[in-house]
Amino acid sequence: MLLKHLLTELCSEFTLPLPQEVNKEGYYEIPCMEGTLLLFKDLNPGFTCKSLLSPAPEKPSEDFLILLMHANFLGQGTNGAAIAMDDSLKHILLILSVPEELNYRLFKEHLENFMNHLDYWKKRISKELH
């Protein structure tokens, strides 16, 4: 289980709490900056990472949905991640899947890009909805 080793190194480097077990959906939960929770799942090979961007609006405008569709188009606005709804359709998530084994340096680069886009889209979605 390579993901567990990568998460151990990540949590050690950034002084984050290391999860010992996966949750009922099979994700490792790591709390980090400003109340953000990162969820990691082993794809074997590779991993997926997801995090909450925003509660979903009850009636999103067409412009808002087009904005998200443009962001997802070929991963251009998300650096290969995807903006999606959770199963309950109550939350907007950013999800990254990397279906290959990585060393720690590459894992950290993917995560850094993911965190940058997570921060950007949280702010952008908040601005669009308020």
Summary mean pLDDT of the chain? 93
Encode pLDDT of 42-90 as tens digits.
Answer: 998 999 999 999 999 999 899 999 999 999 998 888 999 999 999 999 9
Query: Domain residues for 72?
Result: 2-129
Domain count, the chain: 1
Q: Return the structure tokens found at 6.
A: 């990568």
**pLDDT number for residue 35:** 84
**Angle between helices 104-129 and 62-72 in degrees, nearest 10:** 170
pLDDT band at 1 (very low <50, low <70, confident <90, very high): low
Sign of the C-alpha dihedral, residues 119, 2, 45, 18? negative
CATH number of the domain that 118 lies in? 3.30.1460.10
Residue type, 86: D
Residue 31 and residue 64 in contact, taking contact as beta carbons nearer than 8 Å: no
Q: What is the pTM of this model?
A: 0.93
Sign of the C-alpha dihedral, residues 117, 121, 124, 127? negative
Q: Return the structure tokens found at 113.
A: 């890009």
